Amino acid sequence: MWTKICGIRDVATAASIAALRPSAIGLNFFAGSPRHVLVDAAAEIVRALPAGVEAVGVFVNHSAAEVDAICARCGLRTAQIHGDEPPELLAEVSLRQPDLQIVRAFRMGAERLNPLGDYLEACRRLGVTLRACLVDARIAGQYGGTGQTVPWDILRDDYRRDKWPPLILAGGLTPENVAAAIRAADPWGVDVAGGVESSPGVKDPALVEQFLSEAGRAFGASSSRT
């Protein structure tokens, strides 16, 4: 089970969330997001995290040089590429930091997962190895954080687990629906931001705890069936 609480902006919140033991927290460097974190604050958060809780940098249409510089400055070992970046940018990021793990986000719309297959094939040809692929809902002009869910059953049926990276499910997840989402989509991991907030960008530790508990039970039940 892999769980990520995304959109952490300060050390105090990071400490309270890390105490609940998610697999990871997300640091969003997209200036257009209400969850945007400054680079110096992100570096401080990373230094304060306990062992066993990793930090993931979230990037939206940054250049490879920007991803490289921010990851180096903050000590990040995982980058989530969440915008319109072509496979060639991922290849450049990998060339700059060969040990950096890359999670590629994909926004699923009416075309389903057909573009994802082509994208992953291009990554393969360029020698890019992805740690995981995060699937979120496609909303025009938005890069996540919309509160919209993807069609979980379609995702479960269309995602090629035999050939593609591990699947992280995102998009509209909450403590109330995460268990149903895990049962329906059968992901490797889940990612949440707005679904555990009391207001945009403000995490609610009680909601985070409930989310992690529900996800843990659902992942445990899923494992027992396999």
DSSP for 170-197, written as a single string: -SS--TTTHHHHHHHH--SEEEESGGGE
Torsion, Cα 67 119 193 140, to 10 degrees, reads 110
- The pLDDT value given to residue 92: 98
Residue 222 has pLDDT above 80, yes or no: no
User: What was the pLDDT predicted at 137?
Assistant: 81
Residue 111 confidence class, pLDDT cut points 50, 70, 90? confident
Nearest to 9 by CA among 59, 57, 45, 62: 45
- The alpha carbon of residue 141 and the mean position of all alpha carbons in its chain are separated, in whole angstroms, by 19
On the question of pLDDT at 154 being above 60, the answer is yes
The per-residue pLDDT for 221 is 78
Q: Are 198 and 204 in contact (CB under 8 A)?
A: yes
pLDDT at 143: 55
Q: What is the band of 140 on the pLDDT scale with cuts at 50, 70, 90?
A: low
User: Does the pLDDT at position 131 exceed 70?
Assistant: yes
What are the sequence ranges of the domains in the chain?
A: 2-225
| Higher pLDDT among residues 141 and 194, named by residue | 194
pTM of the model: 0.93
Average pLDDT over residues 29-57: 96
Mean pLDDT of the chain: 93
Nearest Cα neighbor of 47 from 5, 99, 97, 11 is 11
The whole-angstrom separation of Cα 159 and Cα 150 is 13
CA torsion through residues 119, 121, 127, 130, sign: positive
Residue 89 pLDDT > 90, yes or no? yes
Sorting pLDDT into bands at 50, 70 and 90, what band is 226? very low
Contact 99, 134 (CB under 8 A): no
Give the residue ranges of DSSP H helices in the chain.
11-18, 39-48, 64-74, 87-96, 114-125, 152-158, 178-185, 205-225
- Indicate whether 53 pLDDT > 90: yes
pLDDT of residue 109: 74
The superfamily (CATH) of domain 2-225 is Aldolase class I (3.20.20.70)
Quote the CA–CA distance of 72 and 184 in Å, as a whole number.
38
What's the angle, vertex CA 7, arms to CA 57 and CA 157, rounded to 5? Answer: 80
